[in-house]
Structure 1
Amino acid sequence: MCWSCDNPTATMADALRSMQGLIDEHGWALQGVEGEGKRPPFTYTVGLTRRGLPELCITGIEGERSAPYLNEAARELVSGGEIRPGGSVHVLGMHFEVVEMAYAPAHLNTAVNLYGDTITGWQLVWPDRHGRWPWDEQWAERWAQPLLGELNA
């Protein structure tokens, strides 16, 4: 269950304090956003901004499945790894292309609430089951993974 569901009388300030506690303890935290209707779920990091780094995001995969990839990519980014927009990264056996988010504050609300609307973000984009990407004409999962920026932007 989500934090808000487990704490129905909590305020937004309570939620942000809880998130800040996780960030203080682990270096960053993850925020999941449930899908609704035709909008797929997505998950993103919160806390990399305070290190002068972009937040990371994966769309189209629910939080429990995307968490290991985001955590490992965040570890690599924090340690000075070669994660850059326009490049690719292999995380836990999965290949992702890195896309700079066009306007991260539109999607990463918890990070905005903690750090302001000057945050930046990079999306980790995954291939479909045939190895094709969302920018390929034959992409089979078009509805499942919205792009939040442009390739090589």
Structure 2
Amino acid sequence: MCKMCDDPSLTMADVRADMFRTIEKYGWLVQYVEAEPGYASFAYTVGLTGKDAPELYVTGLDPQAAATLLNDAGRTILQGDLGPCDLYTAPDGRQYLLGQMVDVRDLLGAIEAYGPNFEALSLTPM
């Protein structure tokens, strides 16, 4: 559940400040969005843009699997070993194709941090 849903006393400013504290402490964060009827859950990074790398996005995984995948892929992309159209092999051996995202409007945390003009790559299972 979202932080404001869990604690209605929080404001958007509180959530935004917490997001930036987390990015400062860890370098980036993984934002998980629970599925709504008719839609798949998804997760994405916020903070890689600040390190001159694209944000990463994946859909259809549970929160732990998504965080593990995006954190490992984030470390790999910061090493300069991944880019658009590359294949990424996750720690569990699964392969994902990195595709350039054209529409980033669902990545609200990244938009809040960087505005609407940032690069993002989608990890698609092969």
TM over 0.5: yes
Does the 8 A contact of 1:46 with 1:55 survive in 2? yes
Matched, 1:102 2:106: no
Q: Report the TM-score, using the length of structure 1 for normalisation.
A: 0.77
What 5-or-longer segments of structure 1 have no aligned partner? 128-153
What RMSD, in angstroms, separates the aligned Cα atoms of the two structures?
Answer: 1.3
Aligned to 2:13, what secondary structure does the other structure show?
helix
Measure the CA separation in 1 of the matches of 2:118 and 2:89: 24
Aligned to 1:56, what secondary structure does the other structure show?
strand
Can you list the C-alpha shifts for 1:120-151, whole angstroms capped at 9, x where unaligned?
10001114xxxxxxxxxxxxxxxxxxxxxxxx
Match of 2:62 in 1: 62
What is the aligned-residue identity percentage?
34
Matched, 1:90 2:83: no
Does the 8 A contact of 1:103 with 1:120 survive in 2? no
Match of 1:116 in 2: 115
What 5-or-longer segments of structure 2 have no aligned partner? none
Measure the CA separation in 1 of the matches of 2:73 and 2:97: 12
Q: Report how many aligned residue pairs link the two structures.
A: 125
Aligned to 1:103, what secondary structure does the other structure show?
coil
Measure the CA separation in 1 of the matches of 2:20 and 2:116: 17
Task: Tell me by how many angstroms 1:96 deviates.
Answer: 0.5
Measure the CA separation in 2 of the matches of 1:94 and 1:48: 22
The structure that has the greater radius of gyration is 1
Task: Tell me by how many angstroms 1:38 deviates.
Answer: 1.1
Does the 8 A contact of 2:77 with 2:83 survive in 1? no
Can you list the C-alpha shifts for 1:73-130, whole angstroms capped at 9, x where unaligned?
000111222x1211211011221111110122x1211110111111110001114xxx
Can you list the C-alpha shifts for 1:53-82, whole angstroms capped at 9, x where unaligned?
11000011132221101000000111222x
Displaced runs of 4 or more, over 3 A? none
Q: How does 1:138-153 map to 2 (within 5 A)?
A: none
Task: Tell me by how many angstroms 1:7 deviates.
Answer: 2.4
Q: Report the TM-score, using the length of structure 2 for normalisation.
A: 0.92
Does the 8 A contact of 1:4 with 1:10 survive in 2? yes
Match of 1:41 in 2: 41
Aligned to 1:72, what secondary structure does the other structure show?
helix
Does the 8 A contact of 1:57 with 1:121 survive in 2? yes
